[in-house]
Amino acid sequence: MPYQNKYLELLSLEFPSVQTVSSELINLNAILNLPKGTEIFITDIHGEYDAFNHYLKNASGIIKEKIDLIFPEHSEEEKNRLAFFIYYPTDMLNKYRNLYKDDKVLSILRDQLTHMIELAKHIVTKYTKSKVRKSLPDEFSYIIQELIYESNSHEDKEKYYQAIIDAIFDTKRESKFILELSRFIRRLAVDRLHIVGDIFDRGPSPHLVMEKIISMKNVDIQWGNHDISFLGAACGSEVMIANTIRIAARYNNLDCFEDGYGINLLPLARLAEKYYSNDPCIPFRPKGISARYQKDEDMGFVARIHKAISIIQFKLEYAVIQRNPDFQMNDRILLNKVDFENGTIDIDGVDYPLSDSHFPTINPSDPFALNDDEQEVISHLRLLFLHNEVLQKHARYLIQNGSIYLKYNGNLLFHAAVPLNQDRSFLKTKIDGLFYFGRGLFEIYEKKVRHAYHNRYEKQNPDKDTFLVLWQGGSSPLFGKHTMKTFERYFIADKKTHEEIVNPYYQFREEEKVLKMIYRDFDLDFKKSKIVNGHVPLDITKGDQVVLANKRIYSIDGGMSKEYSDKTNIGGYSLISDSHAYFLVSHERFETYDKLIEQERDIISITRSEELNDRRTYVYDTNIGNEIKAKIDDLNQLLEAYRDGSVKEKYSKS
């Protein structure tokens, strides 16, 4: 009881009287009965900033859908124009000012502003006036409130309404007003964004994606294996530093480190030129879109860096695996199986010829030892990663707003898989002498990631090794395969050595018995809860099944990365959950920003699946609703304490 009184005393500092408590209780009870806000789930962004930014601006098609609903009498051209004034107001203002003279431009802008106000009126109906006020720009807060909350149906009100709009144009503030109103609409169109893993790698601009995410409110992230690689690098894990640079080189995106993060890769480039200057490095030529139109000599330079950092990574992996036999990753120890004289490697008793047998930095008698130059480079990179302000800012955000899994509004979000055995049981993994599985495995891995981050300046922190097993280990919920055949893909032509077997989760996840086992372990409602995954690119236009297990699983990696353009015809999925239904939306592949503005034709968002709720969902059904209910309970106790005299009011109003 004394502890409870102390808590109520603290709460009374925020609500110092019966009046303030009563007002807040009225407000909170009203909020509980508002419709649930719109949630968007996106996964596997992979550094594709332009596409990601566009999906945020058009709210994955939600804004256009509302325009279609509110303005059915408008032509498609008119609706697209309005949509683009909301998505890209600055560009559209510049475009139309260049196209037309003043009177014509002002007429167009007045139409757009009037339509944007009508759209804003529709969007704010889901929210309290308090929340709307907090989302308004300071400069135009009063004016926007007058426009969206006043009815212009009465003659006098119509004059007042038009007088405000006239004044905006008379004072030449229409451009700024349209800009701020468009931001306001975009801000309220989506209540929460869930990113279900893999912000990093493959694409050119993960740093820009992170800056965009950080600028937003109400975002959560479930780490993918590529995010874990970045986090490991930010924690000073040398093997993960090598891995992140290796992948950037593989897709010709080293600029994201040098220009995006300001990390100097010159020492690595010098090492590559010293040892591989005459090496064609054919298996290490960059892959994908960004490498196709580059000069051959430039790609040769990147290939040499790619090979140099890959060899460093294979050496560093050995020490981590040796220290951690419970990782069960001994199949990744391969350099000691190379016959350097004959250019072959023994895998499972079979000798395979190596497609590249030039290893100038490897001592055959001690193949896993870094030479002095390699050690100097990786030590230098470790210091750069640990002390890079922007990179550490991004890592801190991932730690504070991310997790391996999330239960939100009754749904379970995680990137790849719940590791299973072939007999459909949970895969048990030994960690620090104890066995973990299912939810417990997710939680112990997350604990180790957080501990590694908060102790990142300690070089000998053993939890930093966890990043390697989460990146490519058979027990990783973020990877979902038995092993990663990176070495074999580089050095062995025989593709049967490249096979990576997916975890049995993917084979059995649609079986009711297996799903019920997972739902029980994570304390989910089998009748209502959804599992949302990413990680595996699926194309619904090619017959891939994305909505699984009687709509209990949404596997929503649609291949946003341009590097998947040969695998998927689409440019990603968004899963949308509003108060009425779940919608799976597929997007056309993003081409160029300039083309969008020129054509005023949105990337078409096609609703592929719709699941209507049995009843409309309200705030009281949600995570936020549970928090509000808990606060209501606390405030009721405080109100009772004021009235029975056990807590004194801090002031009273007569």
pLDDT score at 110: 93
Mean pLDDT value across residues 171-199: 93
DSSP H helical ranges for 371-510? 372-386, 389-401, 438-454, 466-472, 486-491, 505-508
Asked if residue 88 is part of any domain, the answer here is yes
- Whether residue 402 is found in the same domain as residue 364: yes
pLDDT tens per residue across span 272-285? 999 999 999 999 99
Q: Which of 141-145, 293-297, 523-527, 626-630 shows the lowest per-residue confidence on average (mean pLDDT)?
A: 293-297
Could you give the dihedral angle defined by the CA atoms of residues 574, 579, 582 and 585, in that order, rounded to the nearest 10 degrees?
Answer: -30
Are residues 545 and 564 both part of a single domain? Answer: yes
CA 241 – CA 170 distance, rounded (Å)? 57
| Of the candidates 134, 22, 133, the residue with the CA atom closest to the CA atom of residue 652 | 22
As a whole number of angstroms, the distance between CA 94 and CA 85 comes to 11
Same domain, 465 and 543: no
Please state the φ and ψ torsions of residue 245, each to the nearest 5 degrees: -70, -40
Give the other-Cβ count within 10 Å of 241's Cβ: 27
**Contact (CB, 8 A) for 521 and 543:** no
pLDDT at 346 over 80: yes
Let me know whether 125 and 188 are in one domain. Answer: yes
CB 556, CB 584: distance < 8 Å: yes
24 plus 132 within the same structural domain: no
Token duo for residue 144: 């926007």
Where do we find the tokens 């869930």? 194
Count, residues in the chain: 654
Alpha-helical regions (H) of 251-367: 255, 266-276, 289-292, 296-323
- Point out the least confidently predicted range of 6-15, 100-109, 126-135: 126-135
User: Is a pLDDT exceeding 70 seen at residue 293?
Assistant: no
- Which DSSP category does 370 fall into? -
Kindly state whether residue 158 falls inside one of the protein's structural domains.
Answer: yes
Q: How far is CA 163 from the centre of its chain?
A: 44
Tell me which of 474, 498, 522 is where a domain ends. Answer: 498
The answer to whether position 513 is within a domain reads no
Q: What is the mean pLDDT of residues 350-364?
A: 96
Whether 65 and 143 map to the same domain: the answer is yes
* Residue among 393, 383, 395 at smallest CA distance from 453: 395
Lowest mean pLDDT among 428-437, 458-467, 581-590: 581-590
Please give the Cα distance from 340 to 363 (Å, whole number): 10
Kindly state the tokens that stand for 622: 């949600």
**What integer pLDDT is reported at residue 305 of this predicted model?**
97
Identify the domain containing residue 7 by its residue range. 2-34+630-644
For 264-280, give one letter per residue: b (16+ CB within 10 A) or e. ebebbbebbeebbeebe
What is the C-alpha separation between 193 and 177, in angstroms, rounded? 26
Rounded CA separation 601/356 (Å)? 48
pLDDT digit string, tens, across residues 518-575: 999 999 999 999 999 998 887 777 777 888 999 999 998 887 877 776 777 777 888 9
H or E element, residue 352: strand 350-353
* 517 within a domain of the structure (yes/no): no
CA separation, residue 6 to residues 11, 12, 330 (Å): 9, 10, 55
Query: What digits encode the pLDDT tens for the residues 309-328?
Result: 999 999 999 999 999 999 99
* Tokens standing for residue 43: 């996964």
Structural domains of the chain, count: 3
Say yes or no: 636 and 606 in one domain.
no
Q: What is the pLDDT of residues 426-462, one digit of tens each?
A: 999 999 999 999 999 999 999 999 999 999 999 889 9
Q: Give a yes or no: residue 174 inside a domain.
A: yes
Provide mean pLDDT across the span 633-642.
93
Q: How confident is the model over 233-249, as pLDDT tens digits? A: 999 999 999 999 999 99
Note whether 140 and 110 are same-domain residues: yes
- pLDDT at position 540 is 73
User: In the 3-class helix/strand/coil scheme, how is 131-180 assigned residue by residue?
Assistant: HHHHHCCHHHHHHHHHHHHCCCCCHHHHHHHHHHHHHHHHCCCHHHHHHH
Instruction: Report d(CA 632, CA 605) in Å as an integer.
Output: 40
Report the C-alpha gap between 55 and 69 in whole angstroms: 20
- 625 domain-assigned: no
Of 480, 498, 516, which closes a domain?
498
Rounded Cα–Cα distance for residues 196 and 199 (Å): 9
Report yes or no on 525 lying in a domain: no
* pLDDT at residue 290 is higher than 90: no
Please indicate, yes or no, whether residues 165 and 210 belong to a single structural domain of this protein.
no
* Euclidean distance between CA atoms 308 and 242, whole angstroms: 10
Q: Which DSSP state fits 36?
A: P
Both 23 and 59 in one domain: the answer is: no
> Alpha-carbon distance 11 to 24, whole Å?
12
Between CA 441 and CA 475 the distance in angstroms is 9
Residue 99 sits in the same domain as residue 144: yes
pLDDT at 152: 57
- Quickly count helices (H) and strands (E) in the chain: 27, 17
The answer to whether residue 569 is domain-embedded is: yes
Residues 225, 178 share a domain: no
- Give the residue from 422, 417, 418, 416 showing the smallest Cα distance to 504: 422
Model pTM score: 0.92
Per-residue tokens: 270: 């010098």
Q: 388 vs 46, 292, 379, CA distance in Å? A: 21, 31, 14
440: helix, coil or strand? helix
- Alpha-carbon dihedral sign for residues 270, 276, 277, 280: negative
